[in-house]
Amino acid sequence: MSDTLTKYLPDHAVKPVFELIVAHGVHLKIVNERATRHGDYRKGLSGKHEITVNGSLNKYRFLITLIHEIAHLVAFEKFGRNIKPHGNEWKYVFQQLM
């Protein structure tokens, strides 16, 4: 998968992002462009973490979007599902991941 990520991420980000994906058991899907969103995080019915990111994004927007979605996953795991999607808990986690 890290070979695939090199197409979508800046070179210096491939290894740390790959490690985040593995550490959190993320199923990453790179999808066709969607007009309404750059990425999405869901916990699937099977309990697996699923993140989709538009493959048409430039490498830096792809990186920020992927970290944004991983921050949702980590915040929900750490603080529970009752937090606001972009509330203080999410902002804290996003800042730590960046």
pLDDT at 68: 98
> Beta strand 39-43 with 49-54: parallel, antiparallel or unpaired?
antiparallel
Number of domains in the chain: 1
pTM for the whole structure: 0.93
Residue 41, pLDDT above cutoff 80: yes
CATH number, position 51: 3.30.2010.10
Residue 49, pLDDT above cutoff 90: yes
- Residue 25 backbone dihedrals phi, psi, to 5 degrees: 60, 45
State which residues form the domain around 48: 2-97
Other Cβ atoms closer than 10 A to 2: 13
Confidence of residue 85 (pLDDT cuts 50, 70, 90): very high
d(CA 30, CA 63) in angstroms, rounded, equals 12
